[in-house]
Amino acid sequence: MSSTYTLAEIAKWVHGVVRGDASVRISGVAGVEEAEVSHITWLSDEKYAAKLRSSRAGAVLVDARFGETPMAAILCEQPALAIVTILEHFAPPVPRPPIGTHSAAVVAPSARLGRDVRLGPNVVVGENAVIGDRSVLHANVFVGADSSLGADCELWPGVVIRERCELGDRVVVHPNTTIGADGFGYQYAGGRHVKIPQIGRVVIEADVEIGANCCIDRAKFGETRVGRGTKIDNLVQVAHNVQVGPGCILVAQCGIAGSTRLGRGVVLAGKVGVKDHVVLHEGVQVGACSCVSKDIPAGSRVFGIPAVDHEQFVRERAALRRAPEMVEQIKALTQRIEQLEASADDRASG
């Protein structure tokens, strides 16, 4: 049975102030349209206040300057961050294997396990691999020879970390992601594709989170690197020798071709493709379904195929929407010109 808390108790978690009945009891969190009387919901902007009038929520979390609400409210400075704290309190416990090594796990004699490590069933840890303190490897995780994990990492079921890869502290990798597979490199010769050996490695810096079913390929030589604090969504491909800077966001189904460099804080929206050997400098933002084919200067916002400055893209799209009308105008002008020329010819011949 889930725990319930009064609004007074919840307000303390977020350093907020209750407006209304502080004794209302809350058992969970829900969106404004789905919430029931036992739920708390939240709004980050007063322009959505109309949605509250039809909401059944027992309470709402809003900005301290938010207007009146039809239910009790907790007023705080940053609702979008405060709701994270509230969700953490209501979140059910995450099942994890117990501290120690499951009887069905296989750990090489030369591997080193830190303190309070948890290894689930069918985990494989290769020769000379290192697993940092308090790290958790769920069922069917594979860590190859000479790879290392920092402290407090969590690898969910089916994750593969191939040989000679390095993960920093507090790295989270979601199910069925592969780190360190061979980069896609071939030389066409003699009527066939000759595989180029991929002898480099992958380095994932601290505090990176990688979604499910991602592929981060090892370098041809040297290293593929993902910078500290970067967050990667599901189904993202990072090719060999790519350098992803710190604090980047890579949204689902992005594909980054080989030897590309992303500066600090770059954001790639869903389904973005980035050509090989280009540089996206610090703070670049790329809109969804775009294709980046050349270097992009720092702070730019680009969109389209090929990606261009966002304002230019908007102007071009606006002009394109007018194209059918302009075609008719051109036809009319062409007919008018032909008529005028015909009249001029008639006068000249007369």
Q: State the catalytic residues.
A: 240
Beta bridge partners of 268: 250, 286
C-alpha closest to that of 14 among 67, 72, 66, 83: 83
For 149, the token pair is: 């994990």
C-alpha closest to that of 124 among 150, 99, 155, 153: 155
State how far the Cα of 322 lies from the Cα of 189, in Å rounded to an integer: 50
C-alpha closest to that of 267 among 307, 316, 215: 307
Beta bridge partners of 291: 273
State how far the Cα of 338 lies from the Cα of 329, in Å rounded to an integer: 14
* Pair 56, 34: CB distance under 8 Å: no
State how far the Cα of 140 lies from the Cα of 145, in Å rounded to an integer: 16
Beta bridge partners of 131: 113, 149
Cβ neighbours of residue 184 closer than 8 Å, sequence gap 6 or more: 217, 239, 240, 258
DSSP H helix total and E strand total for the chain: 4, 40
For 111, the token pair is: 């591997």
State how far the Cα of 273 lies from the Cα of 193, in Å rounded to an integer: 24
